[in-house]
A and B are shown apart, each in its own frame.
Chain A
Amino acid sequence: MTLDEFFCIGITVTLGSHTFEPEAIKAFARKYDPQIFHLDEEAAKKSVFGGLCASGWHTAATWMKLNLETGVEAEGVRWAGAGPAPEFGPSPGFKNLKWLKPVYAGETVTFTRTALAHRPIMSRPGWRLLTLRSEAFDSTGDKVIEFESAVLVKMG
């Protein structure tokens, strides 16, 4: 088995769907992003977004939730190379995150992940950096968020 096969390079994996209920939108916003269009239906109607919508960070964090729930094993991929299976570690960050369309209260969003490439990390022998494209789409098929992230992987 090659690492490309294990990481599912070039394959878009659907991670699942999540419905953003108004109470959950407001609960997240009260803690982390208390802007009026994430907190109050009436005030949100008069705002730039025209309705209660999820914090962009709420949408991004929900990608992480579904990403974890859909490990590589969920795709039927089992490590069959030499030595122990590669182990996923922390992420150094992400780039080019775009909030393309507001996620309004009650909207159901479907999240995806596409592994792009992997390379050795010179400063950290035994680890590789896997890059990913993350996307999500609302019930009409419009893309609501995209970003490019990366994760450190400890090789067995």
Chain B
Amino acid sequence: MTGKTWAYEDFVEGASLDLGTKLVSAAEIIEFAQEFDAQPMHLDEAAGKASILGGLAASGWHTCAMFMRMLCDAFLLDSTSQGAPGVDQVRWKKPVLAGDILSGNTTVLAKRLSRSKPQLGLITMRSELFNQRGEGVFELENTVMFLARDAAQGPS
């Protein structure tokens, strides 16, 4: 647990963290859909074009998974995260299409220490993903638990 860059104390209300970028390939859209969401608009370019989504589009659950990977790579893996109890809200605002380049950020909305476990802090965050045209495609709000730095550096 020692040596993590991000502990509870390091999250500042109002601060925004960059989630980097992610190119969404047709192959990975199809791969995810074959396993979890085998609808034509997630499997086939022509079917996607003919659908309300307008092209080969990622499953919304795939977008959630891609967001999770961006969050992991941006800071979560290098943090004292203890997991999240859930997600308050996800909005799939626009289709994520093959060839899109996603970027994003996570804003710290609020933070507080747990009343029952004072070594544990709760960070409420709002995350957004945008496509290469700057259009918001995805929004997520949730609370993630992080150990305070002293707790993280003590014996586990």
Q: Could you list which residues of chain A lie within 8 angstroms of chain B, going by C-beta atoms?
A: 28, 31-35, 37, 46, 48-49, 55-57, 60-62, 64-65, 68, 89-99, 147, 152
Contact = CB atoms under 8 A, between A and B. Distances in A.
A99 B68 contact: no
Contacts of A68: 37-39
5 contacts: A28-B65, A32-B66, A61-B64, A93-B90, A96-B89
Contact of B86 (A46, A92, A98): A98
B76 interface: yes
A32 B66 CA distance: 6
A49 B86 contact: no
Given A90-B52, A90-B53, A90-B92, A31 B65 contact: yes
A32 B68 contact: yes
A62 B51 CA distance: 23
Nearest to A60: B61
A95 B89 contact: yes
B82 A90 contact: no
A46 B155 CA distance: 12
* Nearest 4 Cβ contacts at the A-B interface: A32-B65, A98-B86, A61-B36, A93-B91
- Chain B contact residues: over half helix, strand or loop, or mixed? mixed
Contacts of A95: 88-90
Interface in B89-133: 89-93, 95
Contact of A93 (B66, B84, B86, B89): B89
Contacts of A98: 85-86
Nearest to A65: B36
Contact of A33 (B53, B62, B72): B72
A56 B59 contact: no
Contact of B65 (A33, A46, A93, A97): A33
A48 B82 CA distance: 6
B68 A55 contact: yes
B60 interface: yes
